[in-house]
Structure 1
Amino acid sequence: MGEEEFRRSFRDPFHNSLGLAVYSCGVQRCASRHSWGPAVRDHYLIHYIVSGRGEFRSCGKQHSLSVGDGFLVVPSQLVSYSADDRDPWTYCWVGFNGSDAKRLMDQTGLLDREPVFHYGGDDKLERLLTDICNSSGSSPSEEARMESGLLLFLAALMDRFGKPAQPQDNGYEYVKKAIKFIDYNYSGDITVSSIAASAGISRSHLYRLFMQHISMPPNEYLMRYRIGKAAGLLKAGGLTVGEAAYSTGFSDQLYFSRVFRRYMGVPPSRYTAGGHRNTGEEKTHE
């Protein structure tokens, strides 16, 4: 049987400085005994087998693989792989790297196990890899779509093989989740109850953890966060007081002005890059 192949490569020197970049992707129906290596790669490479059989060798071990199996090549690891002589495999793949690649691969769980895995059960991985290939190209929009497709592919691996993060005994992981929720949603109509729900704990538990770890209740943290963002907008110029208020989650401009003066020492209408903070801030409590 001859080979049928779709392959795209996107290597560029600036990719090394990106958070995540697709280096290559493709689909290949291999000829009998088609092989690669032994050799090393300078990026992550994941193959997923959609038909046939073959062998993957890594760290002195040989793995016989077939439909629904996948194998991972990590940077600088000596590997080789070859198609079966009677039933050669067809696989699809994606190669990638970047400053976020190691962190994301840690979250898939694949780095803590053998460099082979079995997904099976559905064609989700095949579809996700095919989507990356279908969106491939070198324009900014195509690169963005490839990265988006790669994140969806890695997320599917995380769902199947990754281990959910376990909150630390001291509860700080809950505080981090709450702070992240505030960072993403401070401009909307959020409450302490919705913040607690986002972290998966009760309102009272969230209050105790905030007092323990950052010495203020969550509603105080939210208020300070919003005022800090509003002050930044006013410093930058271009927005009215009302626009800065609405942009940071305040629906009442008069209330915003009172709170802003309490924290910043001057009303928002007078706040400039040279404005001074009030060192005797009044605090609110639940």
Structure 2
Amino acid sequence: MEHKMDPMDKTAILPPLKRPISGGTNDGARPRRYEYWRTGYCDHRPPGGGFWVAQAGEYHCKPAYVSSYPEHHKQTQFFYHLAGEATFSGREPARKVRVGDLLIIPPDHIYRYRAPQGMKYQWFALGGSWPQLLGKKAASITPLDYDPEIVRCLVEMREILILQQSGYTLRAIGIFYQLLARRDEIADTPVEAEPVYPAAVHDAIIYLQQNYAAPFSATETAAATGVSPSHLRTLFAKWLGEPPRRYHLRCRIDKARQLLTERPRSISGVAFEVGFSQAGHFSRIFKQIAGIPPSHYRK
């Protein structure tokens, strides 16, 4: 995510970086307002699409950070707040932004999103027209609390744009729809609502989320769903695009991300708490799934 720079800041006169961009704490060309940043881009819309995911990333912002109009003012922006005290103001009265809040800012909307002590958030922007499925064209803040599934969608969207493999523009839009579905599920859907997945997949997801710290067992997971391990793998491949073992790892890493934002603690302590016996193995898996090592994520 790029912002206007101070005229005296020498990084402002550097030549533009080649896209897609990914950056981190050791990237000397990163914007000086971030402790860490990692971003992917898409400069063209899919054929026939009215909107597309133009940019997505994660940002760990330094104190006195401000994002405001006219940054990305021609795009629809989404901020998912991960950590730090912040306020949002604009045409509406100023209000506090809390962990798990989802901000949606339409094009040409005058706003100010600031954090005097720094903050962390996931962010993406849509190019093209305002999506009609979002309803009235207005800024909104939806309290969702911290949700691992929302975080998973945002990380996957970012990595899709960074890797830019064949069909990535459509896959990124698919993740956008998944995110909105999850938002609506959290905000509006009654607990008694019909599960989206087949019963076996739904039961396995709940079982794996509840038992993230336990060693993965294909047999025990399948037994909790009433189907065979091979049939459960087939269902996961169809509905989630990954095997149960991989989903179990995602549950562990999602919980680790949450723990790292709550209070200071050691990497080895977090690794042990989510079921890893070796901190090195935990760090490798964390980076594979989250895109950054845990030592960077907690800064």
TM-score by length of 1: 0.48
TM-score by length of 2: 0.46
Between Structure 1 and Structure 2, which shows a larger proportion of helix residues?
1
Look at both structures and tell me which one has the larger radius of gyration over its CA atoms.
Answer: 1
